[in-house]
Chain A
Amino acid sequence: MAEEGMSELEAKESELIFKLELFASLPPRLRKLLLKFRRYTSGRADQVFVHQGEYTEDFHYVLSGSISAYRTELDGKTELFEFLGGHSWFGEASAISNQPSLATYKADVPCTLLSLDGGTFKILYKDPTNQEFRKRIDERYRRQSLAAHMRTMPIFKGLPKDQLAALKSEARFETHPKGKLLAREGEAQDAIYMVRSGAISCTRKLPSGVEQVLEYHMNNSSFGERSLAEEDARWPGSYTTLAPTDLLVISRAAIRSTLGEGTGKLAALERAALALVQETSGTGAGPEARSEDELEVLVKGGRVKGGEALVIDLQRCVRCNMCVETCVAVHEDRVPRLSKKGQRTPAVIELVPTEISLATSCYNCDIPECMMACNYGAIRRDSEGLIRFVYDNCVGCSACVSACPYGVIRYTPPPGSAPIVPKESFLESIPWLGNLFKKPAGEQPADAAAPAAEAPKPSPVLSARGEKVQGKSIKCDLCAGLPFEGCVYNCPTSAISRKDPTSLQFGKDEIRTRVVEGSISDAVHGRRAGGTHG
């Protein structure tokens, strides 16, 4: 198909490309797009194009040569996953879902690939006038990649190959426009969903009428596993698409009929689902429906520290900086989590009108922008309602730092950046006597004990769990594990404290009256402020 303005060579190339079966049905508009953004990749024999687990969004079409795909399973065995001759393709799962590559693709002989970036591929795939292309991609995806893709869902992680293969035929692909309500809070759970592309919010309605986001689902995250764990499982919130969304849906009925009612296979899967539900409702990610009573207990009882604002009473603060210095002392990496920068507002503390600063500690927002911005599932709301980082998933993209409207999240210097030299304490700096206060070499961070000749490495920044989080995001961890919250504990003038945000606007009696009247909405709404475990 020669277009106007094309050189002879381009016209020839266009003719050849659109003779290929996969691209033959593309409408003219998409053909132009493909020609504009296509690129050619050539590789010698044994060249690896993509490694298993690598984050790549590129889609590759094999024009010549042959490629073998190898996949290493959880048991460590590497097997030939598929063989791709000319006119086959790979990378569609990664391009659609930002899924790390499911296999390692290695050239058997010299190859030439036609490659498209993820953005271009998604346009071709999602265009409603290009159904033929989508159908071909989906057919092959179902045949070759679906089982491996399903294996990435925690529920199917341990499922034997044959059962996974049987289940994949029951999976159906669904595409929904933005704003589509998929499931309503309290309705029976009847299927397991995996988000292939797009985004879904799970929200619950608080008694005050406020919609609180429990979690977001995108990029291969799944929900609905409780339907297998409990007979009468209900959706903890309403699930709505936030963007055009592609889903993989496997109904509970299909799973049961495939694996066989009352069989050991089904029982094993149900046990896995139960373990997953228990894990996520204990300390992990999953939302958990709560009664009003429970919320009241949690919020008003001071149980949820994260639900309390970190307040600096400016009529009391003598600006001695003890709070920040203690924060530094508490953290082994000597990086303070507290910033005194915050919103200033009039308030009532102990019935006295005053001016306060709401320090930039995590607000555990009802609608957490950071969670929405995170493409890697590294920010979750735990069972207590606190927003937490899952550092295993964090890739250090710092999207959450930009997204947080309150500037609470800070980015730590990446490995290899200029070293953070821990400040020598006053006592350590005393000549001769200071040596008594210096930590022995064994207690020093690894880099501090390194020979002077070696280049200094940055001190590791540690999470509350002691994980190294260099090049990742941090925020207040409530001095996790210690018997005090440093900034509050060491303020000599009682200027900094944790307060229920509602108590800042009303007197104690008024608060009590409001709660007794049954209006817990303010209390619940007040969960917007406080710190978290990082």
Chain B
Amino acid sequence: MNRSLFRSPFVLVPVVAIAAWLGLLFLWPDLAAGSSRGLRLGTGIAALVSMLLALAYVLRKYMHKYGYSPEFKLKVAIDRMERAETRVHELRREILRGQHGTKRAVEAQVARILREEGVHRVLVAQVLEAPVKPGEPGKGTPGPRFTIKVTKAFLLGRAAKWLHLHLYLSLAFAAAVLAHGGDGWDSPLGLVLLGSSLIVVATGVVGIVLWALGPAWLTARERDLSIEEAFVLRESFQRKLAELTQKLDGDLKAAFTGPDDGGARARALLAALPKTDAARRVLLQDALVLQGQWARVDSEFRVLWRTRLSFMGWRAVHLPAALVLAVAVAAHLLSIAIY
């Protein structure tokens, strides 16, 4: 199980939101009726903000997937990266020779190198104090020991963190939506808004649980082939079979292009072909072998595909519902602006 999907400080966001709502209910029990205009406005804004922030995950994902992220514009020449790496390496040598006494001095030095080489937005450096004890490697090395760890800057944060944000802000969104319009099921727009919100959040929660569990199910079923390998092999066999089928003629071709009977017709035709017709026999035999290989890979792929679908299928509901929600929210905002 992938517990990392749930471990995030963002969990505090829905917890605080729900606690705040429960606290308000405790203090003013009649709030639930939605009597306060201020509360409705406040929860509405909270719901909108949390929804937009949750949507930012989607935006970030597709910006990266299609190469539109502003981070792509920060690309620096590899020569500059190498120069910076060489200079930082030289700094490490100086540390080993004991030429830099304090961590702050090293931090300043490495920051200066990265800035001077123009790679400070691409690389970040951490200076870590490495404990030196008698008997360790490096015993006798003069001066204190530091480790300079240079890594990529990862400016926007990893997609996994954004998924946490998406998940927990969506829960906060659900709480805010219920507080905002929990009594609005009687109007068509309210029904759509509340209904789509609940579907989106519920499928999201189900989805994240399935994402945590599903990969283990799939991995357990990937024995001979991974799902990717099965897919590629299946496509390859299919293509080869199609090419070979083109070379067949008449009833031989029909045996492969007609309804799937597991190759029964083709085998019957092979048995009926005279041995003197060697060329057609060889072609037919090859096609039968290919069809057998394809069928085996295809059945394996189908098992794996169904398993993958079992933990990815929720998106078929989640994504359209999210689109409906976005449109409904836009309509809701428009109606507020107009009326």
Which residues in A have some Cβ–Cβ distance to B below 8 Å? Answer: 282-283, 291-294, 296-297, 300-303, 305, 313-320, 322, 325-326, 329-330, 340-341, 344, 355, 357, 383-384, 425-428, 437, 464-465, 479-486, 488-495, 515-518, 520, 533
Question: A465 with B78: in contact, given A315-B1, A494-B4 (CB under 8 Å)?
Answer: yes
B137 within 8 A of A: yes
Listed stretches B41-49, B212-220, B234-242; interface member:
B212-220
Picked from B121, B135, B163, B308, the residue with its CB within 8 Å of the CB of A518 is: B135
Please tell me if the beta carbons of A296 and B149 are within 8 angstroms of each other in the complex: no
User: What residues of B have a CB within 8 angstroms of the CB of A303 in the complex?
Assistant: 92, 148-150
Q: Would you list 30 pairs from A and B whose C-beta atoms are within 8 A, ordered by A residue?
A: A283-B82, A291-B96, A297-B148, A300-B147, A303-B92, A303-B148, A314-B215, A314-B219, A315-B1, A315-B2, A316-B2, A317-B215, A318-B211, A322-B61, A426-B66, A427-B68, A428-B66, A481-B77, A481-B81, A482-B71, A483-B121, A483-B122, A483-B154, A484-B71, A484-B153, A488-B158, A489-B158, A491-B160, A492-B163, A518-B137
Please tell me if the beta carbons of A329 and B65 are within 8 angstroms of each other in the complex: yes
Please tell me if the beta carbons of A481 and B75 are within 8 angstroms of each other in the complex: yes
Picked from B75, B135, B160, the residue with its CB within 8 Å of the CB of A493 is: B160
The 4 A-B residue pairs with the shortest CB-CB distance, nearest first, are A329-B67, A483-B153, A301-B147, A494-B160
B141 within 8 A of A: yes
User: What residues of A have a CB within 8 angstroms of the CB of B68 in the complex?
Assistant: 427, 437
A464 CA / B141 CA spacing, docked (Å): 37
Please tell me if the beta carbons of A520 and B216 are within 8 angstroms of each other in the complex: no
Among A293, A301, A344: residue with most chain B CB under 10 A: A293
The minimal Cβ–Cβ distance linking A422 to chain B, given in whole angstroms, is: 11
A429 CA / B159 CA spacing, docked (Å): 25
Main secondary structure of the interface of A (DSSP, over half): loop
Please tell me if the beta carbons of B79 and A292 are within 8 angstroms of each other in the complex: no
A483 CA / B158 CA spacing, docked (Å): 12
Please tell me if the beta carbons of A319 and B218 are within 8 angstroms of each other in the complex: yes
Please tell me if the beta carbons of A493 and B66 are within 8 angstroms of each other in the complex: no
User: What residues of B have a CB within 8 angstroms of the CB of A482 in the complex?
Assistant: 71-72, 74-75, 122, 152
Please tell me if the beta carbons of B4 and A516 are within 8 angstroms of each other in the complex: no
Question: A329 with B66: in contact, given A292-B138, A488-B158 (CB under 8 Å)?
Answer: yes
The minimal Cβ–Cβ distance linking B207 to chain A, given in whole angstroms, is: 10
The minimal Cβ–Cβ distance linking B223 to chain A, given in whole angstroms, is: 11
Which residues in B have some Cβ–Cβ distance to A below 8 Å? Answer: 1-2, 4-5, 61-62, 64-68, 71-72, 74-79, 81-82, 85-86, 89, 92-93, 96, 121-123, 128, 133, 135-138, 141, 147-155, 158-160, 162-163, 211, 214-216, 218-219, 222, 226-229, 308, 311-312
A464 CA / B75 CA spacing, docked (Å): 11
Please tell me if the beta carbons of B159 and A491 are within 8 angstroms of each other in the complex: yes
Please tell me if the beta carbons of A484 and B152 are within 8 angstroms of each other in the complex: yes
The minimal Cβ–Cβ distance linking A451 to chain B, given in whole angstroms, is: 26
A326 CA / B123 CA spacing, docked (Å): 19
Please tell me if the beta carbons of B154 and A484 are within 8 angstroms of each other in the complex: yes
The minimal Cβ–Cβ distance linking B190 to chain A, given in whole angstroms, is: 31
Please tell me if the beta carbons of A296 and B228 are within 8 angstroms of each other in the complex: no
The minimal Cβ–Cβ distance linking A193 to chain B, given in whole angstroms, is: 27
A330 CA / B65 CA spacing, docked (Å): 9
The minimal Cβ–Cβ distance linking A525 to chain B, given in whole angstroms, is: 15
Question: A293 with B4: in contact, given A341-B229, A482-B74 (CB under 8 Å)?
Answer: no
Please tell me if the beta carbons of A493 and B122 are within 8 angstroms of each other in the complex: no
Please tell me if the beta carbons of B149 and A302 are within 8 angstroms of each other in the complex: yes
The minimal Cβ–Cβ distance linking B109 to chain A, given in whole angstroms, is: 15
Closest to A463 in B: B78
A292 CA / B214 CA spacing, docked (Å): 44
Closest to B67 in A: A329
Please tell me if the beta carbons of A319 and B228 are within 8 angstroms of each other in the complex: yes
Picked from A318, A383, A518, the residue with its CB within 8 Å of the CB of B214 is: A318
User: What residues of B have a CB within 8 angstroms of the CB of A384 in the complex?
Assistant: 85, 89
Please tell me if the beta carbons of B152 and A490 are within 8 angstroms of each other in the complex: no
Among B2, B67, B82, B123: residue with most chain A CB under 10 A: B67
Among A291, A292, A303: residue with most chain B CB under 10 A: A303
A301 CA / B1 CA spacing, docked (Å): 30
A484 CA / B150 CA spacing, docked (Å): 12
User: What residues of B have a CB within 8 angstroms of the CB of A282 in the complex?
Assistant: 82, 86
Please tell me if the beta carbons of B158 and A491 are within 8 angstroms of each other in the complex: yes
Picked from A300, A355, A492, the residue with its CB within 8 Å of the CB of B160 is: A492
Question: A315 with B64: in contact, given A301-B147, A303-B148, A482-B122 (CB under 8 Å)?
Answer: no
User: What residues of B have a CB within 8 angstroms of the CB of A283 in the complex?
Assistant: 82, 86
User: What residues of A have a CB within 8 angstroms of the CB of B136 in the complex?
Assistant: 516, 518
User: What residues of A have a CB within 8 angstroms of the CB of B78 in the complex?
Assistant: 464-465, 480-481, 533
User: What residues of A have a CB within 8 angstroms of the CB of B222 in the complex?
Assistant: 314
